[in-house]
Amino acid sequence: MSRHSVLDYLQEHRFWVADATPQLFDPDLLGAFPFWALSPALGFSKITAPEIDLDTKIVQPGGDHRTIAVVKRANTSAVTLSRGVVWYESDLHRWVMRAAQGLGAPRRDLVIFSFMNAGMSLDQDPGEAVGIALGAGAIAGLGSGMAGGAAAGAVSGASTAASLLALAALNQATGDDSVLRIPARAWYLEGCIPTRYVPMSGFDASSAQISIADLTVQPMFVDEISLLG
């Protein structure tokens, strides 16, 4: 008997990033919500995995020849987001410049979703597809709610669910895959601030490769949210 696709290992290419910043309108940051650079029309080709490192200290109890390690603090690694350069979007640059100039509140909360192979089609089962989107919104809302309270969680959850549905509808309208994948795991990156921005991969008259932009952000902390809790 073959294994069901729900039990398959997660694949690297099934991912998506959502802006879960609990703000409806922020004129001091980018002027509108949601963050256009993270809209369903755009995406990222590659994202480095968030890491959590624990700093430990060796302690030797009195009268004992053995030593034990105790945790002093947790450190969160920076995360780099990469994607092809387009002429009609400059939010990443504006985000970096806002942070550099100390304008507004440059920190944003991001959610990285990893999806199962299984999913629901908008054509065959629209009700289930809506349920999947609401579930993804609940994941984002949970993380945002822990950071900013219930109201912030509700705003982030609704925005994420709407973005996922818009993404599936966009794929359907353009003839691409209109299947809404089931979120298997998510990472909530709280309080991200940009630390490095590379607008293009370079200039080469002999190359026809797509130019890639890189944005590195430093979250305050990362929380992992699994489908099974």
pLDDT digits (tens, 9 = 90+) for 13-34: 888 888 877 654 455 444 444 5
Instruction: Name the one residue in this structure whose structure tokens are 């990472």.
Output: 187
Separation in Å, CA 66 to CA 7, 63, 211: 43, 9, 55
Position 167 confidence tier, pLDDT thresholds 50, 70, 90: low
pLDDT digits (tens, 9 = 90+) for 89-131: 888 998 898 889 887 778 888 888 888 776 665 555 555 555 5
- Report which of residues 62 and 35 the model is more confident about: 62
Instruction: Indicate if the pLDDT at residue 48 is higher than 90.
Output: yes
- The CATH classification of domain 5-51+78-226, taken from the options 1.10.1610, 3.30.379, 1.20.1440, 2.30.110: 2.30.110
Report percent pLDDT > 90 for the chain: 30
Segment 63-80 shows an average pLDDT of 91
Q: Does residue 115 sit in helix, strand or coil?
A: strand
User: Domain boundaries in the chain?
Assistant: 5-51+78-226
- Cβ distance 183 to 132 under 8 Å? yes
- Cβ distance 86 to 146 under 8 Å? no
Q: Does residue 139 sit in helix, strand or coil?
A: helix
Report pTM.
0.73
Question: Across the chain, what does the average pLDDT equal?
Answer: 74
Alpha helices in the chain (DSSP H): 91-101, 126-148, 150-173
pLDDT digits (tens, 9 = 90+) for 186-200: 888 989 999 999 999
Segment 4-10 shows an average pLDDT of 70
